[in-house]
Amino acid sequence: MSVAPGLQAESWHLLTLIERAPGFHILADTLADLVDEGHPIVAGTADLKYSNGLVAFQERHPDRYVQFGISEQHMVSTAAGLATTGLQPYVATFASFMAYLACEQIRTDIAYTKQPVRLIGHHAGITLGFYGTSHHATEDLAITRSIPGLTVIAPADTAQLGSALRAAVDHPAPIYFRIGRGQDPDVYAHGTHPFTIGTAIEHGAGTDLTIIATGSMVHPALAAARALNAGGIATGVVDMHTIKPLDTEAVARAAQRSRIVLTVEEHNVIGGLGGAVAEVVAEHGYGTRVVRHGVKDEYALIGPPTHLYRHYKLDAAGIEEVARTAVGA
């Protein structure tokens, strides 16, 4: 067992805790509101209604809620069947279980048949730090973005999650939502940034550096950019909330105006956001250097998420350090 440095000072009783994260109220409340508005939504989870907050959806719409137990593959296949009846299924479990255990069902039962199921992989990346390799999800973007016809979205915070859920209501394709543990710091105030699937949100324009971040990494990327700009390194940030379809025009703008493009993701550097951005830059011949920052093709260590973010330089200070090295500052 590989344990993150500094863990010795932590209490092992945390190993037994999966918090009922307050941020997940937006998931349950938005889906319940959409039901109230007349949408034929059903929601289900694999024995994790407290961890993802769907207990609140169950309380408001018990007739629209399904408890599948610990049977993720069955849940995904059943969601495909429900979609054929005209219902709009939203099913949730840990991202590691959704993307890995149910990969075949996502590919064959949902994406191949073009069923508009919404797959919610929560506690993505290294947010379940104490639970170890089986629960870390640092390859899920590589898996899901390679499945034809599957849209992949990673909201930056709860406000953006709520907007993304609403934007997805009439989206014809199946969607994989990659979200954290419901405790992500706020990036956006509710209702301040309209969410359009496939259209990134740009925060400033940097001639030296553009940081393209997704999901949980948007907040620390913005903090790092503020420090870099204050130090004379002209830095912009792109919130690439949709991994697929990727906003190639936003990537093009970043590549054409900046000396360096730095991608930041709570994911393996292979196959995720960094790979997607590098593909666009290479295929269009922009000639811009792309630096991929994330977990360096290894199984993540075990420890508190705060320790792991610091260890992998996925906090604001770490991203700033990686950025300074990339630009030679």
Q: Is 125 among the domain residues?
A: yes
Mean pLDDT of the chain: 92
Q: Is 226 among the domain residues?
A: yes
The token pair that represents 196 in the structure block: 């359009």
Report whether 167 contacts 259 (CB < 8 A).
no
In this predicted structure, the answer to whether residue 229 has a pLDDT above a threshold of 90 is yes
Residues 115 and 80 in one domain: yes
Q: Is 184 among the domain residues?
A: no
Residue type, 324: R
Residues 172 and 210 in one domain: no
Residues 66 and 144 in one domain: yes
Residue 319: CA count within 13 A, CB half-sphere: 31
Q: Is-cis flag, bond preceding 245, omega within 30?
A: yes
> Can you tell me whether residue 39 is helix, strand or coil?
coil
The 260-268 sheet, strands edge to edge = 201-203, 235-239, 209-213, 260-268, 289-295
Q: Is 2 among the domain residues?
A: no
Residues 117 and 215 in one domain: no
- pLDDT exceeding 90 applies to what percent of the chain? 87
Residues 168 and 236 in one domain: no
Give the total number of structural domains in the chain.
2
Residues 32 and 126 in one domain: yes
In this predicted structure, the answer to whether residue 231 has a pLDDT above a threshold of 60 is yes
Q: Is 194 among the domain residues?
A: no
Q: What's the pLDDT tens digit per position in 37-62?
A: 999 999 999 999 999 999 999 999 99
Q: Is 190 among the domain residues?
A: no
Residues 114 and 22 in one domain: yes
Tally of residues, the chain: 329
Strands (DSSP E) along the chain, which ranges?
41-45, 65-67, 88-94, 118-122, 151-153, 175-178, 201-203, 209-213, 235-239, 242-244, 260-268, 289-295
In this predicted structure, the answer to whether residue 5 has a pLDDT above a threshold of 70 is no
Supply the pLDDT for residue 194. Answer: 82
Residues 161 and 230 in one domain: no
Q: Identify the residue whose tokens are 């630009």.
A: 327
Supply the pLDDT for residue 9. Answer: 37
The token pair that represents 290 in the structure block: 């792309």
The residue ranking higher by pLDDT, 290 or 184, is 290
For residue 268, give the CATH number of its domain.
3.40.50.920
d(CA 65, CA 54): 9
pLDDT tier for residue 21 given thresholds of 50, 70 and 90: low
The token pair that represents 80 in the structure block: 């495909």
Residues 280 and 319 in one domain: yes
Report whether 151 contacts 118 (CB < 8 A).
no
d(CA 155, CA 55): 21
- Which residue range(s) make up the domain with 282? 201-327
Q: Is 195 among the domain residues?
A: no
Residues 77 and 150 in one domain: yes
Strands (DSSP E) along 160-314, which ranges?
175-178, 201-203, 209-213, 235-239, 242-244, 260-268, 289-295
Residues 39 and 148 in one domain: yes
d(CA 294, CA 64): 38
Supply the pLDDT for residue 16. Answer: 35
Supply the pLDDT for residue 190. Answer: 78
Q: Is 186 among the domain residues?
A: no
Residues 162 and 230 in one domain: no
d(CA 27, CA 120): 10
